[in-house]
C-alpha cells in the first residue's frame, strides 16, 4: 500500500485527521444518508409510484414534484450561503494569524540548479509550498498527493497574477522528481529538499529516531504515523527588504479544499462514494493507472505523445 494510503487509513481509523476542509460538509450529508440506508431507514431499491411522489430512485433520491424540489433546494441554499459567509470569515481570520520569521537558510535542488527559499518566490511576495509525499528511493510519488497535483499546472498559470507562486517540494532527489514529473506530464515547479532540513522543520518528514519513538509531531499534535513522509501545505511571505515569514501551514483534512475532483464529487448524489472502502482515497490512482492504463492526452507532454 502507498505510504499515503497507509497514513490515511490509520489516521481515519484513529479519528486523528482533523475535521477541517471546506468540502467536508456536503460529504457528511451524503454519508449520513448512506448510513441511514445501511441501518434499514431507507429503501434505495424502492421504485417510484405512478405519480412519482414520495418514493426513491435506485440512487437513493426521493422523487417529488418540482415545487417540493424547489422548496428543498432553497432551504439548502440558505445553508450554503451561511457556509460561504463562514468560509469568508475563516479566511479573514487566517490572514490575520501572526507570522514567524524564517531565520534558517534553505537551499533546494531545482531543474536550473540550486535555489534558496527566497529564490522560490520567483519575484512574487507570496509563496505557497505543497509538501508532496515523495521520499528518497521511492519508485513514484504518493497517489493521493498526485490526485491534488493534477490541478497544480493550471493554478500555477493564474496565481502569479495575484502576486503568488506555487511550488511543490519533496525529499526525493531531483532526478527522481524529474522522472516522475515527466511521466505524469506536469508543468508546475517542483524542487528537492533532499539536502536540507526543510521537510523536517515543517513537520512533513520524520527521522528514523522520531519513528522509533512511536509517535511523531504532525498536524499540531503527537500521533502514530505509518510513513516517514506526510502531506501538507505551507505559506510564506517575503518583504521588500527580503525577509521571509512563515504565515500558515495545514495538514491532513485541512488540504481538502485543494482537491478539485472532490469538490466536483461533492455536488453529486453519490458524493465521494467512499463508504465501505478500506480508507478514504482507496480508489485513487495515478492518472495513468485508471482503466486501460492510458494517460489522458491533455496530460501528456509532446515527447510522451510521440512515444505513444
Print the SS3 string covering the chain: CCHHHHHHHHHHHHCCCCCCCCCHHHHHHHHHHHHHHHCCCCCCCCCCCCCCCCEECCCCCEECCHHHHHHHHHHHHHHHHHHHHHHHHHHHHHHCCCCEECCCCCEEEECCEEEEHHHHCCCCCEEEEEECCCCCCCCCCCHHHHHHHCCHHHHHHHHHHHCEEEEEEECCCHHHHHHHHHHHCCCCEEEECCCCCHHHHCCCECCHHHHHCCCEEECCEEECCCCCECCEEEEEEECCCCCEEEEEEEEHHHHHHHCHHHHHHCCCCCCCCCCCCCCCCCCCCCCCCCCCCCCCHHHCCHHHHHHC
Residues in the chain: 308
Q: Which residue has the higher pLDDT, 50 or 70?
A: 70
Q: Please say whether the beta carbons of 252 and 18 come within 8 A.
A: yes
Residues 6+ apart with CB under 8 A from 88: none
The pLDDT assigned to 10 comes to: 43
* Alpha carbons 226 and 1: distance in angstroms, whole number: 11
Q: Calculate the average pLDDT of the chain.
A: 83
The pLDDT assigned to 245 comes to: 98
Q: What is the mean pLDDT of residues 7-26?
A: 37
Ordered structural domains, the chain, with CATH? 3-8+101-262+281-307 (3.40.30.10)
The pLDDT assigned to 56 comes to: 61
pLDDT bin (cut points 50, 70, 90) of residue 32 is: very low
pLDDT bin (cut points 50, 70, 90) of residue 291 is: confident
Three cell numbers, residue 34: 448512506
pLDDT bin (cut points 50, 70, 90) of residue 59 is: low
The pLDDT assigned to 269 comes to: 95
* Residue 166: pLDDT over 70: yes
The pLDDT assigned to 11 comes to: 42
* Residue 307: pLDDT over 60: no
pLDDT bin (cut points 50, 70, 90) of residue 48 is: very low
* Residue 68: pLDDT over 50: yes
* Alpha carbons 140 and 3: distance in angstroms, whole number: 11
* Alpha carbons 20 and 66: distance in angstroms, whole number: 35
* Residue 210: pLDDT over 80: yes
Listed range (59-73, 116-130, 160-174) with the worst mean pLDDT: 59-73
> What share of the chain in percent tops pLDDT 90?
74
* Residue 263: pLDDT over 70: yes
The pLDDT assigned to 13 comes to: 35
* Residue 81: pLDDT over 50: yes
Q: What is the mean pLDDT of residues 50-76?
A: 80
Pairing of strands 232-238, 126-131: antiparallel
Q: Which residue has the higher pLDDT, 233 or 41?
A: 233
* Residue 75: pLDDT over 50: yes
Q: What is the mean pLDDT of residues 76-105?
A: 98
The pLDDT assigned to 192 comes to: 98
Three cell numbers, residue 259: 482537491
> What share of the chain in percent tops pLDDT 70?
75
Work out the angle at residue 291's Cα, subtended by the Cα atoms of residues 148 and 11, and round it to the nearest 5 degrees: 40
Q: What is the mean pLDDT of residues 187-211?
A: 97
Q: Please say whether the beta carbons of 231 and 6 come within 8 A.
A: no
Listed range (23-37, 50-64, 173-187) with the worst mean pLDDT: 23-37
**Sign of the torsion formed by the C-alpha atoms of 262, 287, 16 and 18:** negative
Q: What is the mean pLDDT of residues 40-47?
A: 36
Pairing of strands 189-192, 216-218: unpaired
* Residue 197: pLDDT over 60: yes
The pLDDT assigned to 212 comes to: 94
Q: What is the mean pLDDT of residues 207-211?
A: 95
Q: Which residue has the higher pLDDT, 294 or 245?
A: 245
The residue written with cell numbers 509532446 in the block is: 302
Amino acid at each position: 500500500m502507498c505510504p499515503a494510503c497507509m497514513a490515511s487509513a490509520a489516521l481515519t481509523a484513529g479519528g486523528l485527521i482533523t475535521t477541517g476542509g471546506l468540502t467536508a460538509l456536503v460529504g457528511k450529508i451524503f454519508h449520513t444518508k448512506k448510513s441511514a440506508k445501511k441501518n434499514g431507514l431507507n429503501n434505495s431499491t424502492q421504485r417510484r409510484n405512478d405519480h412519482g411522489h414520495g418514493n426513491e430512485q435506485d440512487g437513493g433520491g426521493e422523487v417529488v414534484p418540482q415545487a417540493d424540489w424547489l422548496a428543498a433546494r432553497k432551504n439548502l441554499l440558505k445553508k450554503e450561503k451561511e457556509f460561504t459567509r463562514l468560509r469568508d470569515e475563516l479566511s479573514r481570520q487566517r490572514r490575520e494569524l501572526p507570522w514567524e520569521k524564517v531565520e534558517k537558510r534553505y537551499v533546494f535542488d531545482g531543474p536550473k540548479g540550486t535555489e534558496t527559499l527566497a529564490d522560490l518566490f520567483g519575484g512574487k511576495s507570496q509563496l505557497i509550498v505543497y509538501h508532496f509525499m515523495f521520499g528518497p528511493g521511492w519508485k513514484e510519488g504518493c497517489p493521493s498527493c498526485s490526485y491534488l497535483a493534477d490541478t497544480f499546472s493550471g493554478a500555477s498559470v493564474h496565481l502569479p497574477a495575484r502576486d503568488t507562486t506555487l511550488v511543490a517540494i519533496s525529499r526525493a532527489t531531483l532526478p527522481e522528481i524529474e522522472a516522475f514529473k515527466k511521466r505524469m506530464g506536469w508543468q508546475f515547479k517542483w524542487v528537492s529538499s533532499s539536502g536540507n532540513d526543510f521537510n523536517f522543520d515543517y513537520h512533513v518528514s520524520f527521522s528514523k529516531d522520531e519513528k522509533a519513538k512511536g509517535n511523531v509531531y504532525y498536524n499540531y499534535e503527537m500521533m502514530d504515523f505509518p510513513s516517514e513522509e506526510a502531506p501538507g501545505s505551507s505559506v510564506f511571505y517575503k518583504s521588500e527588504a527580503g525577509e521571509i515569514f512563515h504565515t500558515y501551514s495545514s495538514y491532513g483534512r485541512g488540504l481538502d479544499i485543494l482537491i478539485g475532483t472532490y469538490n466536483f464529487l461533492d455536488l453529486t448524489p453519490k458524493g465521494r462514494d467512499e463508504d465501505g472502502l478500506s480508507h478514504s482515497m482507496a480508489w485513487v490512482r495515478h492518472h495513468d493507472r485508471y482503466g486501460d492504463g492510458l494517460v489522458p492526452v491533455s496530460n501528456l507532454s509532446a515527447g510522451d505523445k510521440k512515444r505513444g
